[in-house]
Amino acid sequence: MSGSKCARLTGALVKQLLDSVDCVLFDCDGVIWRGDQAVPGAAEVINLLKEKGKKVFFVTNNSTKTRKMYADKMTTLGFNAKEEEVFGTAYCEFLLPNYAVPPLKV
């Protein structure tokens, strides 16, 4: 989706949004960081969400790094991140058999 429809949330709208969710998902590459640089303000926002009791998870379609490698990179960039909060494609594929619905007989 294009960023042209984005609007800055302020005041009561921020509170209303935050009160309506318990969990927030963030994409990694190109969203909360670019290359080896955190997007300005991203770490502060994510860390504040966690301080306010929100569950935060990080998702990525990059399967070239382990969950620990991602968590280590995020920590280096100033994010309060744990390995168990990172979900990449390889890890999700590993989990899939545990959550897949078995075929039903008709």
User: Which residues are catalytic, by number?
Assistant: 27, 29
What is the C-alpha separation between 51 and 54, in angstroms, rounded?
7
Show the tokens assigned to 11: 């005041």
What is the C-alpha separation between 9 and 15, in angstroms, rounded?
9
What is the C-alpha separation between 54 and 24, in angstroms, rounded?
7
